[in-house]
Each structure stands twice: as structure tokens, then as C-alpha cells.
Structure 1
Amino acid sequence: MGPSLTLVLLFFFHTVSSSSDIQPFLLSPDEQESAYLVLESFNSAIDWRSLFPDDLCLSAPHGVVCDFFPDENEGRAHITELSFGYISDYSSNPPCGPNPHFTPRISSLPFLRKLFFYKCFTDQNISLPGYFWNSSSLQELVFMENPSLVGSLDGNISNFDRLQRLVLSGTGISGNIPDSIGELQELEQLVISRSHFSGWIPSTLGKLQKLKILDLSYNRLEGNLPPEIGGIPELLKLDLGFNQIAGEIPNRLVELQRLEFLDLSYNRFGNFGIPLFLSEMPQLKEVYLSGNALGGQIPEIWEKLGGILGIGLSSLGLVGNIPASMGVYLRNVSYLGLDNNMLEGKVPKEFGLLKNVKEMNLENNRLSGEIPFSANFSAKVGGKLKLEGNLRLCVDSGMSRGHFGDFSACEKKKAIPNAALVFISEGFVRKPSFLLIFVFILFLF
């Protein structure tokens, strides 16, 4: 039974069972006033008091959520969630006005668990005020697409000791990620992405033993990746893409045995090759390492990774042949990116057996020989089968070239007639120089 239904039933039971002692407000007058002030601070153009004159826990705009606390003063309701910023008709939170601002009254909502903002701070820069960090009851703090929200993460973030979800995505917040973030022992989701954070990734993140999602992508983070990240046992998603992290990918990441999503792409990891320990992480569904300088050959590690759906190994400086084992074992793969490397040799014919593939990018390598894909395979993948930039690839003469762009037809080697073989054999036996003359004539032909 959801909180809202529980609240309605408890209120109904309370009113019918003790009509002589009806409370006109489940929400205290002080908390009601605080809620009005918060709504007015984020959109003063709406007359919230006239539109919602009754108890906000019984009649409130979408985005204001209450829970009932039956053990407190014979039962009392409190505001537990505030969400601002219209997303859709299915999530029509109160829209933010042209000049939203924070108010100390947020901290006067002592039972507030969730605070959510979507596209509220988009024009004039605004910083989180110092008193904001005193909202110790918060369990979820979410800012999405708020580019004018600036400032830095205060070290007092450790005051949010109940926080389970922290999302700062698409903000103007900058500076370092404070070491004190490792003190948020209840944290399950940490998303600090598409912002302006810099400096090193704090090793204290390894203390977040309940963390399931760690996303620090699209920032300016640098330095080495701390091995302590491998000590987060519940981690399901690790996304550090599009930063400036350098050095070696720590072998300790192999301890992330529940990890399903790994994105380290477009950083500065280099010269250590594709990590062999990936084969010891059987829960992986997506692996993206593109845009680093790992170099080396593609290792034979795919036998235990049959569950992978997406793999990106583009622009890594890879050399050598493409292992046929990738086509044998990666039978569930939907996306395969090997483009912009120095791979050579033939395209494995086993790639034509990948029935679930939606995009395969092999362009801009040094691949050669006949393209092994059927017309049906080409038609299924369509324009997302990318082979351009491999000048020595060719198409079987019986295959319509329209399926594979402008590749030329493969030249068929002419078979030497049996009589010629006998002639060559006898000539070689009688006079070895005769064979050389014959070969020279064939060469001119």
C-alpha cells in the first residue's frame, strides 16, 4: 500500500472514529507556511495559497508529497518530498519561475526526504546557500539540467548522513569532489556528471559499501583511478567516461563481481592493453574503453563474456588480427565498435553469425580480403554496418555491390591447367632454369 493511500485511509478512519476531536490540519500550520514559502521562492508568479488553501497533505500540487507518521503526537502528516520543474504530463511538477531562489525555509521542513529540481536554474547563476547543508533528513538530492547552478560541493556534505541518492547532472558546479563524500555510508547512487568538476577522484569513494551506481562522466577529472574503487562490492554501474584520467586501469576492478556496466572511454589510460581481467567479470553487459591509448592486440578473453550486449574498442591503437572467438562467443552482442584502429587481416566469417547485432563498426582499419557477410545480414544491420576506410576489402563477384557501398569485386586467382603443371614439372626436372623462365612469362601475362 502506497504512502498516499495509507494517508487517506488513516485520515478517514481518524475522522469517522473521533468526530468530536477532528483536527483541521494533518500538517502543522508552521510546516504548511514553510511549504508555501518554498513554493513561492521557486515560482512567485503562481498564487499557491489561493490555488491550494487547504491542508497541503490533503490537496497539494503535483510534486508535493506527504507521509503519515502515526506514532507522533497521535498521528501527524509531514511533507517528505518536493519536486520542481515540469518534465511531462505524466510528471507535471510545479514549474520553476524565471528567477527561482533558495530559501532558509527548506531547512524548516524537518521530515523532507527528497528534493528534486529539473531545468530550474538555467539563466541566472545561483549557488547553494550555506544553510542548505543543514538539511540532514534528506535521502535524495537531485539536480538535473540546471546549468546555472554554480559553486562547489561543500565539505559539509557529510552532514547528509542519511543520503541514499545524490545526482548532480548538467550543472555548473565546479571544484573538487570532497573527500568527505566517503562518509555518506548510506549512499546507493552517486551521479556527478556533465558538470565542471576537476582534480583527482577521491579514494574515499571506496568506503561507500552500499553504492550501486557511480557516474562521474563528462567532467575534467584527472590523475589516476584509485584502486579503492574496486572495493565497492555492490557496484553495478561504473561510468567515468570523458574525463582526463590517466595511468593504468587498476587490476583491482576485477573485484567488482556484480558490475554490469563499465565505461572508461575517452580518458588517458595508456600503453597497458585491454585488461585481461575482464574475462573474470562474468556479469558484464556493456564495456566501453574507446578513445584511450591502450594499444596492443585484442586478447582471447571472450569465452566467459557471452552475456555482453555492447562493447566499444574504438580508437585504442589496436594492432593485429580480429580474433574469430569474438564472433563465436559474443552471440548476444548488439553493438560492436572496433573502428579507427590498425587492425589487419580478414574480417572473421564468424561475425556473420551474430544474429542480435544492431551496429558493427569496423571502419578505418587495415582489413583485407573478402567481406564475409551475406546480403541478409547487410540488409538487417543496414547503414550501421560500417566498413569504409579499409581499402583492401572486397566483395564477392556474385554479391551485389550495393549491399556494401563502393567496395570492388574480389579478383579470382586463375587456376593453372593440369597440362601446364606437367609441363612445368618435366621442365623443372630436366632443367631447373626452365621453370624460372616459365614463371617469368606467367608474371608478364
Structure 2
Amino acid sequence: MAFSSSSSAIMLILIFFSSLLFNLVISEPVLNPDEQESVYRVLESINSNIPWRSLFPDDLCSAAPHGVVCDYFEEGHNGTTETLHITELSFGYVSDYSPNPPCTPNSTINPLLSSFKYLRKLFFYKCFTETHVSMPAISSFRSPLEELVFIENPYLTGSLSGNLSNLSSLRRLVLTGTIVSGKIPDGFGDLTNLEQVTISRNRFIGGEVPLNLEKLKKLKVLDLSQNGFEGNVPESVGGLTELLKLDLSSNQFSGKIPESLGNLQELEFLDLSYNRFANCGVPLFLAEMPRLREVHLSGNLIGGHIPEIWENLGGISGIGLSGTGLVGNIPASMAFYLKNVSYIGLDNNQLEGTVPEEFGWLEMVNEMNLENNRLRGRLPFSAKFAAKVGKKLKLAGNPELCVDEGLRVSVSLISVTYSIENEMSKQRD
């Protein structure tokens, strides 16, 4: 009898847990059929050659192509109902580690993209390469969106114009290698959660950067390079105190380089090259930015002498001052303090005098360009130094430079050769 009671108890327990497990399975949420249909249609607009529906016939939140991601949400009264929704859509094969749905030359953007109310990330890589496709209206995206990324889509057209107020959660905006044009909307400065803005190699010809950027206190990367932006760089850029990278190169910015940039104490990368900054000299505020690793000002006729500002900048690995209208001597302090520099560009200026002895001590250098100046005298470089740097030690266009015979086999001399032969002729006489 005791055995029978024990068996009954075990049976009841098994029935209880079986029922519980059955209820859990039954209550497991699935993707809404309308949302699933929207995903299929978006996938078909990206690549109609792949039978998405037959390859992935089941719930897409259980089995989906790489790049299609779901997440759970609590809805209903007091969050009692758990639902599943699409939160990420990534298109364009990147690598075997990121095998997103591949695009085709005829890929398009389905309007149903705007129907995903919970979408946090939208990513397109090399999708629009042969057929013109218009970028969706910026106002069509929903407030949960955190990442909006278009990389290397040379036939993507349209603009960024529109109301940005619904993108309050946006952290990452990347738009590179497109023919998107127009201007950056004024409301851009109100997207206070932004951490990265990379708008590079587009066609924002004649546009200006919004003035009210000081609210973007979380911004770490601002890259507006290779567009057509013009006008002054807003002083408000100096209020982006968390910035690590600032790249405004290859635009048409003019006027003075803002003094407020000296407030960017965390900045590691500064590239203002190939704009129209003029007659302002090498900014003295650089001395107040000890975390700098790279500084590029080439292609701006800023003029003046190379200042003595290098004492606190020992972390710099690259410095570009090519074609900036610099005059006077190269200060020895530049080499004395920049022990970690691997690239120095001082070419196409009006620098004169000798190359400081300290430049021969720069053990980390793998490229040094001193071409087309008015430098003279003997070079301080050893044969070992010249052999290491090789043809990236560029000295042409300085006819009064004298190069020791031992360096001739290591250095790309071009017009300097005349000086060597002239020096040897004098010695024979």
C-alpha cells in the first residue's frame, strides 16, 4: 500500500511538471505574422534571387538569416504579455564572420523598413552599387533606432533633410561613400545620445555644419571628411569634450581654426587637412592637448613658423604640415620631444636652415618628407637610419642639401643628386 501511495505521488508530480512544461512551450511568443511578412519582403528587395520564404519558413525569431535579430518585450497591462519583435536588420556580406544577406546590383529599399517599430539597428554595406536608390526619409525611422549605417553605397541618393526629433535614441550615424547631398539638418545638434557621427565621402557641396553642436556631450567620433562643407567650423565643436577623433579634412572650410578646439582634452586624432584655413599659423592650443596621437593640417596656407609647442605632445605618432606655407627653421625641439613619431610631413613649404641633429635620433620614424623647401647643409641621418626609412625619406627639391656618400644608396634623392655631385666636384678641385 505504501508502495502504491509513493507511485501515485510520483505520478502526480510528473503530470504537474509535464503540464507546466507544456504551458511554457505553448506560451512561448513568436514573431507577429505581419512583421514576419515585412521581413520577407524587405529581404526580397535586397536579394530576390534567394528563396527566403522556403529557406526560412518558420518563426524568424527562432531561425533567421544572419543579420536579422529579434528581442523580447514586455507589453500589456503591467507588462504581463511577452512579445517578440525585430530589433536589428543588417544587409550586405561583410565577411565569413558577418555573413549578412548578400546584396545584388538591383537591390532596393522596401518602404516597409519604416514599419519596424522596435528596430534599433539598420545596416547596409555595399548594397546600392549599380542602381540609384533613394535614402529613406530620415523622419520615417522610429524612436528606438540607435544605429543607422550606410557604408560604401555609391548609388545611394537623397538627403538627410527632415525632422530628426524622433531619433532621440540614435547613438551611431554612419553615411560613407554615397551621393547623398544637401545639408545636415539643424535638429542634428539635439540628438544628445550620439556617440559616433561619420558622414564621409558624400556630396554635401556648399552645405554648412550646424552651429548648435554643444549639446552632443557623448560624442566621441566626428568625421565629416571628403564632402563639400564650407564656411567656418563652428566654435561649438570645442564643446564636444568627450571627442576622441575629429576629422574635417578635404572640405572647403575657411576662416580661422577655432581656438575652442583647445578644449578637446581627450582628443587623439585631429585632421583638418585640405581645407581653406589661412593665415592663422600652427595653432598654439595644440600644446594643451596632451592625448594627441595624430595631427594633420596639410594643404591649408596657415603660414608662420613652426612653434615651440611640443613638450607635452610626446605621444604624437603622425604629424602632417605639408603645403602649409611655413617659413623659418625647423625647431630642434620638435624632434627632441616627439620620440614616438613615425610620420613627419613638412614638404612643400618655405622652411630653411639645416635639418636639426635631433631628427637623426627619431628611431620610430618610417616616413619623413622634407621635399621642396629651402633646406641646406649636411643631413644628420646615419646610413642605418636612411636604410630603415628607405625611399620614404624624401628630400628632393632642396638643392643646397648635402648628402654624405654613404647615404646615396639608401635615400631617394632625385634633385638632391645635383648637390652631391657638386660637393664631390668641389672636393676634387
Q: What's the TM-score once normalised by structure 1's chain length? A: 0.85
The answer as to 2:28 corresponding to 1:28 is no
Question: 1:396 is matched with which residue?
Answer: 404
In 2, distance between residues paired with 1:337 and 1:325? Answer: 16
Question: 1:7 is matched with which residue?
Answer: none
Among 164, 185, 189, the alignment partner of 1:182 is: 189
Question: 2:112 is matched with which residue?
Answer: 105
Whichever residue aligns with residue 22 of structure 1, its letter is V
TM alignment of 1:43-442, pairs within 5 A: 43-69=47-73, 73-130=80-137, 133-197=140-204, 198-397=206-405, 399-404=406-411, 405=413, 406=417, 408=420, 411=423
User: What is the RMSD of the two structures over their aligned residues, measured on CA atoms?
Assistant: 2.3
Secondary structure at the aligned position of 2:410 is classed as helix
Deviation at 1:132, TM superposition (A): 5.8
Whichever residue aligns with residue 123 of structure 1, its letter is E
Give yes or no for contact 2:139–2:162 (8 Å, CA) kept in 1: no
Give yes or no for contact 2:139–2:163 (8 Å, CA) kept in 1: no
Deviation at 1:102, TM superposition (A): 2.3
C-alpha spacing 1:73/1:34, structure 2 compared with 1 (3 Å): farther
Instruction: Tell me the number of residue pairs that the alignment of Structure 1 and Structure 2 aligns.
Output: 402
In 2, distance between residues paired with 1:329 and 1:257? Answer: 19
Deviation at 1:33, TM superposition (A): 1.7
Deviation at 1:135, TM superposition (A): 2.3
Secondary structure at the aligned position of 2:122 is classed as strand
Deviation at 1:154, TM superposition (A): 1.9
In 2, distance between residues paired with 1:214 and 1:75? Answer: 38
C-alpha spacing 1:245/1:154, structure 2 compared with 1 (3 Å): same
Deviation at 1:107, TM superposition (A): 2.3
> In the TM superposition, what whole-angstrom CA distance separates every residue of 1:199-230 from its partner, at most 9, and x where no partner exists?
22111222211111101100111111111110
C-alpha spacing 1:381/1:15, structure 2 compared with 1 (3 Å): farther
In 2, distance between residues paired with 1:211 and 1:20? Answer: 47
In 2, distance between residues paired with 1:148 and 1:15? Answer: 57
Secondary structure at the aligned position of 1:277 is classed as helix
Whichever residue aligns with residue 172 of structure 1, its letter is I
In 2, distance between residues paired with 1:135 and 1:43? Answer: 24
In 1, distance between residues paired with 2:268 and 2:352? Answer: 30
Deviation at 1:70, TM superposition (A): 6.0
In 2, distance between residues paired with 1:16 and 1:58? Answer: 23
Give yes or no for contact 1:107–1:132 (8 Å, CA) kept in 2: no
Whichever residue aligns with residue 324 of structure 2, its letter is L
Whichever residue aligns with residue 188 of structure 1, its letter is E
Question: 1:421 is matched with which residue?
Answer: none
Identity %: 62
Deviates more, 1:400-409 or 1:359-368: 400-409
Secondary structure at the aligned position of 1:105 is classed as helix
Secondary structure at the aligned position of 2:212 is classed as helix
Deviation at 1:16, TM superposition (A): 10
Deviates more, 1:352-361 or 1:68-77: 68-77
Deviation at 1:238, TM superposition (A): 0.6
In 2, distance between residues paired with 1:57 and 1:194? Answer: 36
In 1, distance between residues paired with 2:137 and 2:209? Answer: 24
Whichever residue aligns with residue 188 of structure 2, its letter is I
Whichever residue aligns with residue 179 of structure 1, its letter is D
Secondary structure at the aligned position of 1:156 is classed as coil
Deviation at 1:148, TM superposition (A): 1.2
Secondary structure at the aligned position of 1:187 is classed as coil
User: Which one has a bigger Cα radius of gyration?
Assistant: 1
Deviation at 1:409, TM superposition (A): 6.2
Give yes or no for contact 2:246–2:271 (8 Å, CA) kept in 1: yes
Deviation at 1:265, TM superposition (A): 0.2
Question: 2:11 is matched with which residue?
Answer: none
> In the TM superposition, what whole-angstrom CA distance separates every residue of 1:17-74 from its partner, at most 9, and x where no partner exists?
5224424753222222221121112112211010011121221111112223367554
> In the TM superposition, what whole-angstrom CA distance separates every residue of 1:245-271 from its partner, at most 9, and x where no partner exists?
000001111111111110000000001
Among 8, 21, 24, the alignment partner of 1:18 is: 21
In 2, distance between residues paired with 1:409 and 1:386? Answer: 18
Q: What's the TM-score once normalised by structure 2's chain length? A: 0.89
In 2, distance between residues paired with 1:90 and 1:409? Answer: 57
Deviates more, 1:204-213 or 1:345-354: 204-213
Secondary structure at the aligned position of 1:81 is classed as strand
Structure 2 unpaired stretches of 5+ = 1-16
The structure 1 segments of at least 4 consecutive aligned residues displaced by more than 4 Å after TM superposition are 14-17, 70-74, 409-412
Deviates more, 1:222-231 or 1:32-41: 32-41
In 1, distance between residues paired with 2:18 and 2:50? Answer: 32
In 1, distance between residues paired with 2:250 and 2:145? Answer: 30
Deviation at 1:192, TM superposition (A): 0.8
In 1, distance between residues paired with 2:185 and 2:136? Answer: 17
Give yes or no for contact 1:196–1:219 (8 Å, CA) kept in 2: yes
